Amino acid sequence: MKESTMKRLLLLPLVMILIGCTNVNPPIEGRADPYQSAQIHFATEELRGDTAVGRPILARDDAGMLLITIPIRSAIDKTLYIDYRVTFFDRNGVPLEHFGPFTKTLDPNTPDRIQVNSTTPRAADFQVDFRYAR
């Protein structure tokens, strides 16, 4: 093999490496979530099945603070220990404040409730996230 052919063969991998280094990958964009966000979320399907949650009750106090009450109970013959976190949003869906996590003990098959109030009258909506206590 000629010397010039050998040099070309040795340079070929070097050129390929240099070309490969100039490739720029596009950014990975987020995908749209096909599900609308709800007011009450559960971390696991098991917890959702172990609890019964009623429709949230909303009210405003004299200062305009949003008060939420969520009826909840253990729907099984076991005491449940759950953590919950509450987020309040303004009318545009912008988070205003977070509370928790708090731990709640739910006695077997006994109605109970969770009550939380905002600290600003700008609160227009809320979200509660439940998970088993750690």
Strand-pair category, 125-132 with 80-89: antiparallel
Domain that holds residue 48: 40-132
Residue 52 in tokens: 């019964």
Would you say residue 19 lies in a domain?
A: no
Q: Are 126 and 97 in contact (CB under 8 A)?
A: no
Strand-pair category, 51-53 with 40-42: unpaired
Would you say residue 125 lies in a domain?
A: yes
Would you say residue 71 lies in a domain?
A: yes
Question: Is 105 buried (19+), middle (13-18) or exposed (0-12) by CB count in 10 A?
Answer: exposed
Q: How many domains does the chain contain in total?
A: 1
pLDDT digits (tens, 9 = 90+) for 11-69: 666 666 666 666 788 899 988 888 888 899 999 999 999 999 999 999 999 999 999 99
Tell me the pTM: 0.75
Residue 22 in tokens: 């100039």
Strand-pair category, 40-42 with 125-132: parallel
CATH number of 82's domain: 2.60.40.3230
The continuous run of DSSP H or E covering 106 comes out as: strand 95-106
Residue 71 in tokens: 């009826």
Would you say residue 126 lies in a domain?
A: yes
pLDDT digits (tens, 9 = 90+) for 61-102: 999 999 999 999 999 999 999 999 999 999 999 999 999 999
Would you say residue 22 lies in a domain?
A: no
Would you say residue 35 lies in a domain?
A: no
pLDDT for the residue 83: 98
pLDDT for the residue 134: 87
